[in-house]
Structure 1
């Protein structure tokens, strides 16, 4: 599998209190299977598979104070250089680049609005082996209160080409890879604005989407499995989506394209 170009979403994992419970939830919801023998060197980090292809991972929290959350990782050919660029552009490095031998090098960083994301410099593990198909990652959006600063940050660090979408209310912008014509046809992610109706204590965040064959059926299954519906199924120009919490509180979206 070819390496991902810099700035492309290349991996996702969920930090959970109970990985065994997470395997039951996502295994039934998305049909995922999991590593038989997760690498105990990295705390039992467990890869998830769809049709035998790697699509995400579930990770046990190393500290109970950590949030229960899905994290997206952006590809980089040089994690140390990208971490430095993030600092220079007004972001922060939460976890300095560290080698996860033999798989690659990771870092955890924050944009100027406070949204946390990871960096991944792949080695043996390049990232997604399946995406934009049912049972796999398909999209990501950053939600922020400082859109101008955040847009400038991602354009400077990753060279994203942005385009404001007038047909989506609330202030939405797509991010396309460097050197491409900006717009929904080439976009790999988006930026949305946290409105004044949301609680002040709500931090900036990334929302990850997983593609499904039937949005309504997936929402019903998530509820049955102990999840919670944050936004019931609704139609958008690109399909039908919903926003959910899993049974431990991690937020994610599903999209029927």
Structure 2
């Protein structure tokens, strides 16, 4: 098992107001497996691939179809520094940094074309 390299896409998330339906879709289409995230409440499921030790993404349960989304996340060393650099390059912070229960920090950015993507850093050791 290898740790992803900083500044690479290392996670993805599908948000759905019909999470059971979307999980069934991706399971039938690609064989993806799902399990409730032990670090979250019942509103997030982890996605893993057959034969993979670690999850590669998640399904966020959203309350409204207007919030449905598919987004990628880039692993970075420092979320606040990355947000500042993105703003300097003309991007906009869409969601300010959030720290999960396990210490993982994530945020979302809009690039210069308005495309939304996320950044995250692992919990401190």
What is aligned with 2:59?
191
What is aligned with 2:74?
210
- 2:110 matched to 1:245? yes
Structure 2 unpaired stretches of 5+:
none
Q: How does 1:159-170 map to 2 (within 5 A)?
A: 159-169=31-41
Could you tell me how far apart the structure 2 residues matched to 1:234 and 1:203 are? 18
TM-score after normalising by structure 1 = 0.43
Kindly tell me the number of residue pairs found equivalent between the two proteins: 119
What is aligned with 2:18?
146
| Residue 238 of structure 1: how far off its partner (Å) | 5.6
Could you tell me how far apart the structure 2 residues matched to 1:155 and 1:178 are? 10
Structure 1 unpaired stretches of 5+:
1-130
TM-score after normalising by structure 2 = 0.83
Q: 2:95 aligns with which of 231, 234, 239?
A: 231
Q: How does 1:1-257 map to 2 (within 5 A)?
A: 132-169=4-41, 171-179=43-51, 186-196=54-64, 202=66, 204-236=68-100, 237=102, 239-257=104-122
| Residue 167 of structure 1: how far off its partner (Å) | 2.9
| Residue 204 of structure 1: how far off its partner (Å) | 2.5
The RMSD of aligned alpha carbons is 2.0
Tell me: higher relative CO, structure 1 or 2? Use CA pairs within 8 A at least 6 residues apart.
2
Larger Rg: 1
Q: Which runs of 4+ in 1 moved over 4 A?
A: none
